[in-house]
Structure 1
Amino acid sequence: MIIERATADDLDALLAFRQEAASWLTALGSDQWQRPYPADRLLATIEAGVVFMVRDGSATAATITLTSDAEEGLWTEQELREESRFVNKLTVARTHAGQDLGGRLLDWAGDRAYRSGAQWLRLDAWTTNNSLQAYYLRHGFEHVRTVTEGGAVNGGPRVSGWLAQRSAMPSAVHGFTDLVSTGARCNEA
């Protein structure tokens, strides 16, 4: 499997990928990701070069967004002074579930964060998704706090405010052919 930056050509596939994940979450009884993600916002993150795709041949196996920008209102000023990278939208295709792709992507992200000089790999998770929170704890993250106020709509409740972090560290065990570091682009359809 390879990992590479997403391009604008991946937009429709990523939107469909997110919808697949939302449907799966609904079947599990979660309200996570029930609102469609705005295509223009996703395209902006793709164009910023912070969305990455894991491909298994011609199939998209997983995706992750890794950025140096924190979502507003989650982290304290002191925490924001600490060099960090933030994980968003980590999603694994149902066809590739059970292979620890998410854990391997977290290791890849931690390695990338470490090589950029970051001290922390941080994330925010859905506040009501206890299974997801337990998943991150099993993968070495420590719960920092849960932010429940100051959501995007009129300062209301925040739906993704369970904050966690782990030290950024080198990892050669993620097992992906990393085309991000080489700047190469996979030509597979």
Structure 2
Amino acid sequence: MKIQNSNHKDIDEIFRLYQIATDFQKTKFSVHWPAFERSLVATEIAENRQWKMILDDTIACVWATTFDDPQIWEERNADPAVYIHRIATHPDFRGNNFVGSIVEWAKQYALENKKKFIRLDTVGDNPGLIAYYTRSGFEFLGLSKLKNTKGLPAHYDNATVSLFQMEITFA
């Protein structure tokens, strides 16, 4: 397994994985991802914030990161954190606990970038995802009603989100 930045050649595969993930979400949850703007992902790629996990010469999983997420994390955004968004797994690789692999990678990434927390959010109150992320080492911080979603992807509009974080200890 190898983790590296995505590049512009990956953009069609990233969107294919997003569509597969959205289709899966529609079978399980009332809230699902909207169609994301290609410009959003292109910017993340250009800024080295879009990631891929390669397994058997295949993009097995993708996700995005940022160091700033004020509309979701509000006053907590002042904390030094890496935020993980839009984890999407290739269907042939589901069940491989890629979140655990992402967590291990993110711990090192956070340390290298002098961040104290790894954070992620999900839209809604989803007991299955809450249990999964807490088993993966995240602390569930509770639900938060978003106040200002202008400019965020459509699934955040008027949403309540589940917030998760993991504190990183420096050696």
TM-score when scaled to structure 1? 0.79
Q: What secondary structure is seen at the aligned counterpart in 2 of 1:89?
A: strand
Aligned to 1:73: 71
Aligned to 2:158: 157
- Greater fraction of residues in strand: 2
| 1:139 matches 2:136 | yes
Match of 2:105 among 89, 105, 108: 108
Query: Is the deviation greater in 109-118 or in 148-157?
Result: 148-157
CA offset digits 1:150-175 (Å, max 9, x no partner): 2536995125x2111011258xxxxx
Give the direction of change, closer, same or farther, for the CA distance of 1:152–1:80 in structure 2 (3 Å limit): closer
CA offset digits 1:90-143 (Å, max 9, x no partner): 122111011111211122112211222111111111214332222111111112
Measure the CA separation in 2 of the matches of 1:66 and 1:149: 20
Query: How many Å apart are 1:7 and its aligned residue?
Result: 0.7
Measure the CA separation in 2 of the matches of 1:96 and 1:115: 28
Measure the CA separation in 2 of the matches of 1:30 and 1:165: 24
Measure the CA separation in 2 of the matches of 1:102 and 1:38: 24
Measure the CA separation in 2 of the matches of 1:13 and 1:107: 24
Give the direction of change, closer, same or farther, for the CA distance of 1:26–1:156 in structure 2 (3 Å limit): closer
| 1:26 matches 2:55 | no
| 1:39 matches 2:10 | no
TM-score when scaled to structure 2? 0.86
- Greater fraction of residues in helix: 2
Measure the CA separation in 2 of the matches of 1:91 and 1:156: 21
Aligned to 2:60: 61
Match of 2:121 among 120, 124, 131: 124
Q: CA RMSD in A?
A: 2.1
CA offset digits 1:31-51 (Å, max 9, x no partner): 221x21111111111111011
Give the direction of change, closer, same or farther, for the CA distance of 1:128–1:2 in structure 2 (3 Å limit): same
Work out which of the two has the higher radius of gyration on C-alpha atoms and give 1 or 2: 1
Whether the aligned pair in 2 keeps the contact of 1:142 and 1:164 (CA below 8 Å) is yes
Aligned-residue sequence identity (percent) comes to: 20
Aligned to 2:7: 7
